[in-house]
A and B are shown apart, each in its own frame.
Chain A
């Protein structure tokens, strides 16, 4: 089955700087890669996703890149703000099947 690894497990960034979180996956059949943000006591909220037919996607301060050959994808947050502090999860799936999640990255934005 699919295995998703996520790094780093914790990340502290000065407010205004950029944050990068990286994930690798094992199943070449995976073609859908969402990123979720989870705040304390809440369910995961989708922030951006990418499908295997594109290499990059941007939404304001957030971008995701995908390298299918190397089987890795990354989340980039620019101009970080205190409200970006949360746990971020990457995930992978084949189409609309079950998601396999990474182990999460706790991002802390230092004011």
Chain B
């Protein structure tokens, strides 16, 4: 079946501009995660959605970042205003949250460059 998809694959923008990244999780997966990976680094947790529960926003680096998940499916990560230090690859992952099938499956990522 289809995996996690993310759009756009690559985005270049200027400092101060609004950025919106989209994630389509695997159909039926109730849990959705956002991570980011700076150049040469590991993945850093940003935010986690599980069903209708309040999201875990503990990883968001500042109040310039926000995310939403509509209808329990598609999610968007928003940055306003963007800054050069936000440049990274942003990954989305989803899981079914049903043990032992709770593996997190990652999308291909969105490479964000803020000039």
Contact = CB atoms under 8 A, between A and B. Distances in A.
A96 B91 contact: no
Contact of A99 (B41, B43, B99, B107): B43
B107 A43 contact: yes
Interface residues of A, number: 23
B42 A98 contact: no
Given A45-B106, A49-B103, A98 B43 contact: no
Given A96-B99, A98-B48, A98-B59, A46 B43 contact: no
Listed residue (B95, B97, B104) with the most chain A CB atoms within 10 angstroms of its CB = B104
B45 A100 contact: yes
Interface of B: 4, 31, 33, 35, 41-45, 48, 56, 58-59, 91, 95, 97, 99-100, 102-109
